[in-house]
Amino acid sequence: MPAPEALTSEIEARRDEIVALTQDLIRIPTLNPPGAEYRAICELLADRLRRTGFETCMIRAEGAPGDSDRYPRWNVLARREGARPGPCVHFNGHVDVVEVGHGWTVDPFGGTLRDGRVHGRGACDMKGGLAAAIVAAEAFIALCPDHAGAIEVSGTADEESGGYGGVAHLAEQGVFAPGRVDHVIIPEPLNKDRVCLGHRGVWWAEIETKGEIAHGSMPFLGDCAVRHMGAVIAEMEAQLFPALAARRTEMPVVPEGARASTLNLNSIHGGAVEPAPGDTGLPSPCVPDRCRMVIDRRFLIEEDPAAVEDEVRALLEGLRARRPGFDYGLRELFRVVPTMTDREAPVVQAVSRAVRAVLGREAAHVVSPGTYDQKHIDRIGRLKNCIAYGPGILDLAHKPDEWVGVEDMVHAAQVMALALDELLGLERRPATRPPAHPARPGGGGGARSHAPEADAEVPPAGVFRPR
Ligand SMILES: [Zn+2]
């Protein structure tokens, strides 16, 4: 096992490599939508990782939302086996970026390096983090080629649009099955001194109120669905919003305002369709017979997921009982339960200790107000030992002139390399497993979460089939 200083200086020596890899990734415009250039960026990652002894394979999420022959949902999975049994540490980064938008002063796909910052769409969210993770793994392998266990890196599609063509698909293929993978680090931009344990829950639903169409000059002959929706919102203002704001969580959500339950009214529409741009015709006079509203409810780990829906339904039922003519529909669009990895999990402990070693301060343990790909690793993959940790400032994500600091990437890479060393370093193998070589004294390891027989597992069929 290399000394921590050897690892951190090895990363420091690779500073330019981190910058160059980030730039190379930014220069492939993996815009989502539509989901462009996934194959190209996966090939770049695969070519790179093969040079340090990773086996790689391309996995297309055929039939996933958005997948087509024009815009195939390609993902890359790379694995490097160590010299002896041990756990598997998996780094996952999404390769897609959101639209460019307006207000840029640099080329969004140029990867401009200026004043110690690499600029470009996806620099911070999250190509800089992926580059830092890859260089961390490469530096660790260079100093510790006979490490225990295995290291995996995946570059995945579509995180920005729900992750169904990316991590969700890999999870369905068994990639994140406990025993195959033990610890997952997602280098999303959450600041280099924070370990993100999970996220709040999400419930998206569409509420529809029903009325009766009639001539707009005689609204009393119909029943206005928009007025019924107005009653729904009034009821929410009077009851639901105050009740949610009073509900607080023990989850360390940042920012602080998201430590309560929240509700957003995403969109509302009733009556005639909106005129197309350039359409100068006047609307026709009708009483709207339908009104639809999409709501976005974010809930806490202390809340019963079923109660989240029941509460909205009870509000609507109350209106049905009291308000003449009130009728409604309620349809769930999307649901994700909250998740929070245990603070004592080895991956949390290893990264937190590495933050202390590199930055000289305690890591903050936080929870994200919104979800990210951890939801699929938890829900489909059933793997609990997952965190988000990476360089970059979350507030810059999706903004014009997005950037990631070079110093932050170097620090985050040092943290990830030290965490690898703690989880896979030779002297830290659990004493319960017969060592291939006599263990040197003084190598106390922490508790391991994976089953001993896990090492015998091979990747599930299909995962490593080259395509
Ligand atoms: Zn992201």
Q: How far apart are CA 41 and CA 415, in angstroms?
A: 25
For the residues 223-241, what does the mean pLDDT come to? 98
Ligand 1 center to 178 CA (angstroms):
24
Whole-number average pLDDT of the chain: 91
Residue among 82, 207, 6, 125 nearest 399 (CA) = 125
Q: Is the predicted pLDDT of residue 452 greater than 70, yes or no?
A: no
Ligand 1 center to 403 CA (angstroms):
13
pLDDT at 443: 34
Q: Is the predicted pLDDT of residue 454 greater than 70, yes or no?
A: no
Ligand 1 center to 371 CA (angstroms):
10
pLDDT at 460: 43
pLDDT at 192: 96
Ligand 1 center to 372 CA (angstroms):
7
Choice among 199-213, 272-286, 340-354 with the minimum mean pLDDT: 272-286
Q: How far apart are CA 15 and CA 342, in angstroms?
A: 33
Choice among 149-163, 224-238, 289-303, 427-441 with the minimum mean pLDDT: 427-441
Ligand 1 center to 10 CA (angstroms):
27
Q: Is the predicted pLDDT of residue 456 greater than 90, yes or no?
A: no
Half-sphere exposure of 68 (CA within 13 A, CB side): 7
Residue among 327, 332, 102 nearest 228 (CA) = 327
For the residues 211-229, what does the mean pLDDT come to? 97
Ligand 1 center to 52 CA (angstroms):
26
pLDDT at 276: 86
For the residues 357-378, what does the mean pLDDT come to? 95
Residue among 140, 153, 147 nearest 181 (CA) = 153
Ligand 1 center to 94 CA (angstroms):
7
pLDDT at 239: 97
Ligand 1 center to 50 CA (angstroms):
25
Ligand 1 center to 264 CA (angstroms):
21
Residue among 239, 249, 248, 95 nearest 165 (CA) = 95
Instruction: Domains for the chain: give ranges and CATH numbers.
Output: 4-199+338-456 (3.40.630.10), 201-271+285-336 (3.30.70.360)
pLDDT at 238: 98
Ligand 1 center to 69 CA (angstroms):
25
Q: Quickly state the pLDDT bin for 243 (edges 50, 70, 90).
A: very high
Q: Is the predicted pLDDT of residue 427 greater than 70, yes or no?
A: no
pLDDT in tens, 300-312: 999 999 999 999 9
Ligand 1 center to 369 CA (angstroms):
13
Q: Is the predicted pLDDT of residue 415 greater than 50, yes or no?
A: yes
Q: Look at 2 and 418; give whichever has higher pLDDT.
A: 418
Question: Within 10 Å of residue 354's Cβ, how many Cβ atoms?
Answer: 26
CA 98 and chain centroid, separation? 14
Q: Is the predicted pLDDT of residue 59 greater than 90, yes or no?
A: yes
Ligand 1 center to 93 CA (angstroms):
8
Choice among 46-50, 185-189, 419-423, 461-465 with the minimum mean pLDDT: 461-465
pLDDT at 275: 82
For the residues 392-411, what does the mean pLDDT come to? 94
Q: Is the predicted pLDDT of residue 432 greater than 50, yes or no?
A: no
Q: Is the predicted pLDDT of residue 280 greater than 70, yes or no?
A: yes
Q: Quickly state the pLDDT bin for 394 (edges 50, 70, 90).
A: confident
Model confidence, pTM? 0.85
Ligand 1 center to 342 CA (angstroms):
22
Q: How far apart are CA 202 and CA 234, in angstroms?
A: 23
Choice among 100-104, 170-174, 259-263, 441-445 with the minimum mean pLDDT: 441-445
Contact 181, 383 (CB under 8 A): yes
Q: Is the predicted pLDDT of residue 109 greater than 80, yes or no?
A: yes
Ligand 1 center to 164 CA (angstroms):
14
Contact 358, 411 (CB under 8 A): yes
Ligand 1 center to 400 CA (angstroms):
15
CA 301 and chain centroid, separation? 18
- Residue 155's alpha-carbon distances to 39, 112, 416, 462, in angstroms, are 10, 22, 17, 17
Ligand 1 center to 125 CA (angstroms):
5
C-beta contacts of 270-275 below 8 A and 24+ residues apart = 270/209, 270/225, 270/226, 270/229, 271/225, 271/226
pLDDT at 207: 98
Ligand 1 center to 146 CA (angstroms):
32
pLDDT at 345: 97
Q: Quickly state the pLDDT bin for 395 (edges 50, 70, 90).
A: confident
Ligand 1 center to 465 CA (angstroms):
28
Ligand 1 center to 113 CA (angstroms):
21
Ligand 1 center to 127 CA (angstroms):
9
pLDDT in tens, 324-361: 999 999 999 999 999 999 999 999 999 999 999 999 99
Q: Is the predicted pLDDT of residue 377 greater than 70, yes or no?
A: yes
Q: Quickly state the pLDDT bin for 1 (edges 50, 70, 90).
A: low
Ligand 1 center to 278 CA (angstroms):
36
Q: Is the predicted pLDDT of residue 126 greater than 50, yes or no?
A: yes
Ligand 1 center to 320 CA (angstroms):
42
pLDDT at 274: 81
pLDDT at 19: 98
Contact 200, 100 (CB under 8 A): no
The CA dihedral of 13, 14, 18, 19, to the nearest 10 degrees, is 60
Q: How far apart are CA 345 and CA 446, in angstroms?
A: 10
What percentage of the chain reaches a pLDDT higher than 90? Answer: 85
Ligand 1 center to 160 CA (angstroms):
7
